Amino acid sequence: MKHRMPVIIGIAGGTGSGKSTFTNRLKDEFKDQVTVIYHDNYYRAHDELPFEERKLLNYDHPDAFETELLLRHLELLKAGKTIECPTYDYSRHNRAKETMRIEPGRVILLEGILVLFDSRIRDLLDIKVFVDADADERILRRILRDTKERGRDVENIVDQYLTTVKPMHGLYVEPTRAFADIITNSGMNDVAFDLVRCKIREILKA
């Protein structure tokens, strides 16, 4: 049977905006019919640096990501090939040893703060979503999440937010809203969810 190119849906937005919430709702709905790729898994490996230096790096600048690898992987998936996706360990600020095999599916969700930043990635996206939320809500959510799930303490989260997360958001994340086809005010917004859900159903039926 002829291979059909996967449709790639980019889900962008600031930290804590609700990207994963939105993505997970779609994954729950479509299960194995959609594949999720987390941009965070493409953070560069920094085995050459000790932990104390890795924790001070700027993780909100586009250069923090290995974009060439992500591009290559998206091209391979588009060509119907399987990829070995890297995985990331936030508690060590480094790429993990394990990789994840990803088979080419009909629909790929690509989620991350900067998935709409690079024009080469953007060109591979068929639908672009930007999840929006007020900065105060985002940082509060991040504090709760990162202390529970990413092995961080509040002092470190606040310091990182003020030195890199907030300024990079204004410079690199926020401007990509202009590229979005759909802007939603929350990952829990049912209308936006329904729009994307209908679109995916249509693609899977075709």
Ligand X SMILES: Nc1ccn([C@@H]2O[C@H](COP(=O)(O)O)[C@@H](O)[C@H]2O)c(=O)n1
Say which entry of ligand X, ligand ADP, none residue 18 contacts (CB below 5 to 8 A, set by partner kind). Answer: ligand ADP
Which of the stretches 14-22, 24-32, 120-128, 192-200 binds ligand X when contact is defined by CB under 6 A? 14-22
Let me know if 184 is exposed, middle or buried by CB neighbors in 10 A (0-12, 13-18, 19+). Answer: buried
Shortest spacing between CB 152 and ligand X, in angstroms: 7
Q: In the structure encoding, which two tokens stand for residue 26, read together?
A: 């779609």
Residues numbered 15 to 74 that lie near ligand ADP (CB under 6 A) are 15-21
Contact (CB, 8 A) for 8 and 116: no
Say which entry of ligand ADP, ligand X, none residue 179 contacts (CB below 5 to 8 A, set by partner kind). Answer: none
Q: In what order do the strands lie in the sheet with 7-13?
A: 34-38, 107-111, 7-13, 127-131, 182-184
Residues 190 and 206: their CA atoms lie apart, in Å, by 24
**Identified binder of ligand ADP from the candidate list 44, 106, 141, 197, rule CB under 6 A:** 141
Residues 107 and 117: their CA atoms lie apart, in Å, by 21
In three-state secondary structure terms, 4 is: coil
Nearest to ligand X of 64, 108 (CB atom): 64
Which of the stretches 12-20, 99-107, 180-188, 191-199 binds ligand X when contact is defined by CB under 6 A? 12-20
Which residues contact ligand X by CB under 6 A?
Answer: 15-16, 19, 40, 43, 59-60, 90, 93, 113, 165
